[in-house]
Amino acid sequence: MPPINDDLDGARIMVKLDDLLYARRMTLTELAERVDLTLANLSILKTGKAKAIRFSTLAAICRELDCQPGELLGYKAD
C-alpha cells in the first residue's frame, strides 16, 4: 500500500489496489481495459504516485472490482 501524497501534518492516503486486484484474481491490464484507462495511469495510481483521482475513475474502478471507495483507499496518520 504505497502512499499517494503527504499533507502538511504527515498523514497519507494509501491505495490498496494491489490487494483488491489479488483478491479478485484480476490483472492491472484487465482492469485498465475494463475501465477504459491507460495501463500507465492505473500504474501511477497503484504505485502511489498519483496526486489525485477523479470521482468518475474511482467509480469505474469500484464498479469493476465490486468494492466501495473505502476498500480501495485508506488513511494513515504518521
46 contacts: CB under 8 Å, gap ≥ 6:
2, 15, 17, 18, 28
pLDDT grade for 22, boundaries at 50, 70 and 90: very high
Name the domain count of the chain: 1
Q: Please give the average per-residue pLDDT across 50-57, as a whole number.
A: 94
In this prediction, residue 3 carries a pLDDT of 53
**How far, in Å, CA of 25 to CA of 65, rounded?**
10
* Percent of the chain clearing pLDDT 90 (strictly above): 77
Range of the domain at 45: 3-76
Give exposure, 22-48, as e/b (b: 16+ Cβ within 10 Å): eeeeeeeeebbeebebeeeebbbbbeb
> The domain that contains 36 carries what CATH number?
1.10.260.40
In single-letter form, the type of residue at position 61 comes to I
